Amino acid sequence: MPELPDVDLYVHALRARIVGQTIRAVRLSTPFLLRSVEPPLATAAGRRVVSVSRLGKRIVVETEGELFLVVHLMIAGRFRWKPPGTKVPGKVGLLAVDFDTGTLILTEAGSKRRASLHVVQGRDALAQHDPGGLELLDAGIDAFAEALRRENHTLKRALTDPHVFSGIGNAYSDEILHAARMSPFKQTQGISDDDVARLFDAARSTLSGWSARLREETGEGFPEKVTAFREGMAVHGRYRQPCPVCGSPVQRVVYAANEANYCATCQTGGRLLADRSLSRLLRDDWPRTLEELERRRRT
C-alpha cells in the first residue's frame, strides 16, 4: 500500500500537472470504485482543480465549489499520467480523468477491487474521511509521545494505526523501527522517554529522507514505480538478506495479512520473535536466538 512518502510523491506530481486545469470529462470504468452517490461523479466535469493534497494515505483533488475527489489507492491502486484521451486499460483500468494537457488514469492490479473513490461536497464532509492520525512531520515530540502512549499496543501496531499516526504503513514502520533499533513488539506504555525521543527522531528522518529520495529519483517525471519494496530499504522485504548495519540476516514475523521485518541483532538483542501460530506449533522446538536458528539451518 502506498504510504506517506509515495503518496506525497503522487501529490507533488499531480499538483504540477492538474492544478489550475479544468476537468473535461470523467470516465468510470468499473462501478465498484465509486463508493458515494451524492453528489454525482459527473458534477466534477467542467470544474477547475484548485488543489491536490494528502489526507492520511488518501489523495484529495479539490475542485471549484469545494467539490472533493477522495481516492484511496489501498494495496494495488496506482495512478498513470497519459496523453489526452487515452483509453482506460481493459483489465486493470478503473477511472480516467481528462484534461486538456493529459489524462489521469487510475489502475488496480489483481482481481480484488479495493481502491475507492468518494465524491464529497464541502470541508465538513471531507473531514469525515480523515482517520485523525497525527501528522508526524508537523508534530513536536510531546504530541508524538502523547499519541504513542495513549493506549497500550506494540510499537508496530501503533505506528501503522491511521487513528494514531498519519500515513505510515507496513513498509515504513519496519524501516522506522530498525532505524530506532527497537523491537516491533515492544509495548508503547512501557517505553522510556529516551526511547520515545529515539523513535521520534527515527520516524521523522525515515519519512522525510525517503520523501526527498523518491522525489529526487523521479525528478519532473510522473511516478511509475510506486512500490512497498524499495532498493535501499534496510529490512522491509529483505527477509534473510544481510542487515546493512550489522550483517545479520533479516528476520520476519507473519501475522494475519501483515508481517514485521526486523534485525534480531540490532533490534531485539539477538532474540527471535515468534508469531503465535508457529510458536504454538513448534513449542519447545522454536529457536530462541539468531545463533540457534542459524545452527539449525546448517544442520
For residue 267, give the C-alpha cell. 533490534
H or E element: which one contains 5? helix 4-18
Using CA atoms, how far residue 27 sits from 82, 144, 210, in Å, is 14, 42, 33
- Residue by residue, pLDDT tens for the chain (299 residues) are 899 999 999 999 999 999 999 999 999 999 999 999 999 999 999 999 999 999 999 999 999 999 999 999 999 999 999 999 999 998 999 999 999 999 999 999 988 889 999 999 999 999 999 999 999 999 999 999 999 999 999 999 999 999 999 999 999 999 999 999 999 999 999 999 999 999 999 999 999 999 999 999 999 999 998 988 999 999 999 999 999 999 999 999 987 667 899 999 999 999 998 765 444 444 444 445 555 545 545 54
The total number of residues shown for the chain amounts to 299
Give me the phi and psi of 179, to 5 degrees please. -65, -35
> What's phi and psi for 175, nearest 5 deg?
-70, -40
d(CA 123, CA 219): 32
- CB-based contact 95:119 (threshold 8 Å): no
Spatial separation of the C-alpha atoms in residues 233 and 245, rounded to whole Å: 12
C-alpha cell at 105: 488514469
The structure's pTM equals 0.91
Quote the distance between the C-alpha of residue 125 and its chain's center: 23
Q: Quick one: pLDDT at residue 275?
A: 62
Question: Cα separation of 60 and 43, whole Å?
Answer: 16
State residue 288's pLDDT score: 55
Residue 6, pLDDT score: 97
Which residues lie below 8 Å from residue 74, measured CB to CB, with a gap of 6+?
1, 108, 114, 115, 116
Instruction: Evaluate whether 273 touches 253 at the Cβ level (below 8 Å).
Output: yes
- The 8-class DSSP code of residue 228 comes to S
**Per-residue b/e over 153-179, b at no fewer than 16 CB within 10 Å?**
bebbbbbbbbebbbbbbbbbbbbbbbb
Q: Where are the strands (E) in 127-274, listed by range?
A: 251-255, 258-262
Domains of the chain, each with CATH number or no CATH: 4-127 (3.20.190.10), 136-298 (1.10.8.50)
The DSSP line for 129-170 is T----B-GGG--HHHHHHHHHSS--BHHHHHH-TTTBSS--H
Coil, helix or strand at residue 34: strand
